[in-house]
């Protein structure tokens, strides 16, 4: 009789322990789901990448750079369902960002452009990494979204600056000096403004 009692006691303790563990697991799962829901709601409010209006010439450059245009299209389409949609979004952004560094148009082949672009790629990859861990650090993620927005705007400003500087007339003798420093002289016809020396050769300020 004692053995039977001990047997049932052990079974009862085991079942109680299992039930207690299941309850604890359920609470943890619900807590994790609630956290992800909070992160999604916060991201939904923060994910607002406003497209900056560029000057006509800068816009032509931006739109003709297919990889940059696709990246911006992906960035401006905000996920609308769950945190998983944001994970997929950042994964797609990483793939598109990786193509940017080796498709930069010739006119934008400037050190400052490459630095800005590197910052954008870094932010996108960090955002993707933090969204794919079990306990998503909400404030860190929101900070990266804000930083990414700033970096994209700064990048567009850099495009505008390059175009603006290319339109500044050269001073007398500046073209000759640039040709000497560059070691070659381009032959440019007035009928083809897309190949003017101002657009293809760095300014005197850049050389300094």
Q: Which of the given ranges, 19-23, 31-35, 52-56, has the highest pLDDT on average?
A: 52-56
Q: Distance (Å, rounded) from C-alpha 161 to C-alpha 165?
A: 6
Using alpha carbons only, give the angle 150, 126, 87 rounded to the nearest 5 degrees.
100
Q: Distance (Å, rounded) from C-alpha 88 to C-alpha 129?
A: 12
User: Picking from 1-5, 30-34, 105-109, 112-116, which range would have the lowest pLDDT averaged per residue?
Assistant: 1-5
Question: Burial level of 109, CB count in 10 A (0-12/13-18/19+)?
Answer: exposed
**Residue 11's pLDDT is what?**
67
The torsion angles phi and psi of 52, rounded to 5 degrees, stand at -80, 135
pLDDT digits (tens, 9 = 90+) for 90-120: 999 999 999 999 999 999 999 999 999 999 9
User: In this structure, is the dihedral angle defined by the CA atoms of residues 38, 39, 40 and 42, taken in order, positive or negative?
Assistant: positive
Sequence-distant (≥ 6) Cβ neighbours of residue 107 within 8 angstroms:
61, 162, 166, 199, 200
Q: Distance (Å, rounded) from C-alpha 203 to C-alpha 208?
A: 9
**Residue 178's pLDDT is what?**
53
pTM for this entry: 0.68
Q: For residue 43, how far is the Cα from the chain centroid?
A: 15
**Residue 4's pLDDT is what?**
67
As a whole number, mean pLDDT of residues 113-130 equals 96
pLDDT digits (tens, 9 = 90+) for 164-203: 888 777 565 555 665 665 544 333 333 444 444 444 444 4
As a whole number, mean pLDDT of residues 8-12 equals 62
């Amino acid at each position: 009789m004692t053995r039977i009692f001990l047997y049932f006691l052990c079974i009862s303790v085991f079942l109680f322990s299992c039930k207690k563990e299941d309850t604890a697991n359920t609470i943890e799962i619900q807590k994790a789901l609630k956290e992800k829901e909070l992160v999604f709601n916060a991201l939904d409010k923060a994910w607002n990448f406003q497209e900056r209006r560029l000057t006509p010439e800068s816009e032509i450059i931006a739109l003709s750079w297919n990889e940059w245009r696709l990246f911006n299209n992906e960035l401006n389409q905000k996920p609308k369902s769950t945190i998983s949609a944001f994970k997929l979004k950042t994964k797609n952004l990483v793939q598109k960002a990786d193509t940017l560094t080796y498709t930069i148009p010739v006119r934008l082949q400037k050190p400052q452009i490459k630095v800005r672009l590197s910052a954008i790629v870094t932010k996108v990859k960090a955002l993707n990494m933090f969204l794919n861990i079990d306990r998503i650090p909400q404030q860190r993620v929101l900070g990266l979204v804000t930083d990414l927005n700033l970096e994209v705007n700064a990048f567009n400003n850099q495009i505008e600056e390059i175009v603006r500087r290319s339109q500044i007339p050269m001073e007398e003798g500046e073209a000759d000096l640039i040709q000497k420093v560059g070691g070659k002289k381009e032959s440019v016809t007035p009928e083809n403004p897309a190949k003017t020396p101002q657009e293809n050769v760095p300014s005197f300020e850049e050389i300094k």
